[in-house]
């Protein structure tokens, strides 16, 4: 049994060292040597609540270019990656039958209009029945409607860009039979981008339309800035998060759909007391700092914390501006008050 005594004593010693006394145990000190520490004066600075998320970029407008009818491709009027204007013709499908029908109807319409003109002259002299003139006028209208139908069929076989943007890679060749399910190419409006990201519902209160958004991608060394343009009307009942969408300008065209972006939203800007994260000592839901009493003594003091951002923590109660706290060396202080030796 005695052989285990050193082991047990060592374990108990470690437990006592790491657990230490409670913050209320004042008057006792861990040894008599002063612990070297680094101190800092508490100051107020600009601070804001920070919402961090990962978002995905989407083109402002995006569509797959597909035909509306099944037919053979006769012309492709673009190359991979071309920038196109709204309404620009991208491809044509075979339309010989439609053009022949259009020519036939055009000739018939000219003849029908001549007949109406002839009967109108005769009707003024009461040399023809009104019903004959009405029948000829009706035939003109029917032919005009038939021409519009054929024109619509020709337009269905003429594929145009629905909006200005940049085309993707061409996926068909002239002579191919394409159907409404065939993708000819993709078209994206990259002049501005949609950035969609999820935010925990508990942070919904700090978000609002028009807030500034900073986004960064591993593909680029600089940041991209935009504004929140929409907040979803529903919270996901499974993840308890809400979808947020921001608009990012992309005049240089560097951003592309599908790119992952680390997103940062700063809300509720204010001047607040902030301290470095390493100055905070936490136990469960209680938080402490070591407050300098004089040049040689530090007192463990409970504080209330607010938001966190980039290595600093907001202090809402417990210390005041102008007081001095221990920043580096907190982990070496056990007893309160503690002897310290601030580094020069």
Q: Where are the domains of the chain?
A: 22-48+271-342, 51-61+191-270, 67-94+157-183, 96-151
Out of 216-220, 251-255, 306-310, least confident range: 306-310
What is the distance between the alpha carbons of residues 274 and 309, in angstroms, rounded to a whole number? 10
At residue 253, what are phi and psi to the nearest 5 degrees? Answer: 75, 20
Q: Which residue has the higher pLDDT, 332 or 157?
A: 157
Query: What CATH code is assigned to 51-61+191-270?
Result: 2.40.30.170
Of 3-17, 131-145, 283-297, the least confident: 3-17
User: pLDDT at residue 183 above 70?
Assistant: yes
CB 228 within 8 A of CB 248: no
Cα–Cα distance for residue pair 35/42, rounded to 1 Å: 21
What is the pLDDT at residue 13? 57
The pLDDT, as a whole number, for residue 274 is 86
Q: How confident is residue 32, by pLDDT bands cut at 50, 70 and 90?
A: low
**DSSP label at 205?**
G
Summary count for the chain: helices (H), strands (E): 3, 19
What would the CATH number be for the domain defined by 22-48+271-342?
2.40.420.20
Whether residue 48 contacts residue 266, with contact meaning beta carbons closer than 8 Å, is answered with yes
DSSP 5-69: HHHHHHHHHHHHHHH---TT--S--SSSSPEEEEEEE-EEEEEEEEEEEEEEEEEEEEEEE--SS
For residue 267, the model assigns a pLDDT of 78
* Phi–psi pair at 333, nearest 5 degrees: -95, 125
In 3D, which of 108, 104, 91 has the Cα closest to residue 155? 91
Question: Does the structure show a pLDDT above 80 at 16?
Answer: no
Cα gap 317→270, rounded to integer Å: 16
Fold (CATH) for 67-94+157-183: OB fold (Dihydrolipoamide Acetyltransferase, E2P) (2.40.50)
- pLDDT, residue 111, reads 92
Taking a C-beta distance cutoff of 8 angstroms, is the pair 265, 38 a contact? no
């Amino acid at each position: 049994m005695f052989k285990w005594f050193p082991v047990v004593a060592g374990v108990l010693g470690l437990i006592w060292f790491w657990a230490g006394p409670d913050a209320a145990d004042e008057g006792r000190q861990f040894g008599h040597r002063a612990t070297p520490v680094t101190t800092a004066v508490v100051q107020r600075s600009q601070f804001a609540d920070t919402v961090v998320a990962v978002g995905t970029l989407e083109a402002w407008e995006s569509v797959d270019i597909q035909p509306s009818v099944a037919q053979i491709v006769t012309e492709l009027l673009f190359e991979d990656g071309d920038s196109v204007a709204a309404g620009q013709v991208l491809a044509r499908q075979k339309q010989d039958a439609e053009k022949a029908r259009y020519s036939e109807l055009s000739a018939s319409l000219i003849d029908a209009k001549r007949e109406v003109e002839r009967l109108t002259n005769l009707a003024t002299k009461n040399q023809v029945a009104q019903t004959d003139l009405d029948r000829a006028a009706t035939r003109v209208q029917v032919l005009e409607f038939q021409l519009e139908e054929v024109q619509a069929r020709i337009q269905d076989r003429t594929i145009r860009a629905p909006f200005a943007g940049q085309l993707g890679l061409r996926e068909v060749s002239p002579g191919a039979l394409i159907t409404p399910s065939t993708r000819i190419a993709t078209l994206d409006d990259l002049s501005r981008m949609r950035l969609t990201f999820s935010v925990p519902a508990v942070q919904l209160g700090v978000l609002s339309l028009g807030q500034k958004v900073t986004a960064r991608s591993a593909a680029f060394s600089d940041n991209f800035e935009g504004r929140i343009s929409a907040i979803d009307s529903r919270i996901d009942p499974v993840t308890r998060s809400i979808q947020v969408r921001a608009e990012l300008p992309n005049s240089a065209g560097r951003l592309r759909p599908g790119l992952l972006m680390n997103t940062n939203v700063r809300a509720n800007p204010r001047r607040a007391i902030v301290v470095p994260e390493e100055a905070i000592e936490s136990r469960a839901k209680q938080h402490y700092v070591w407050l300098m009493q004089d040049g040689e003594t530090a007192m463990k003091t409970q504080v209330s914390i607010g938001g966190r951002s980039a290595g600093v923590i907001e202090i809402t109660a417990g210390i005041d501006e102008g007081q001095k706290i221990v920043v580096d060396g907190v982990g070496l202080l056990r007893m309160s008050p503690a002897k310290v030796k601030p580094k020069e």
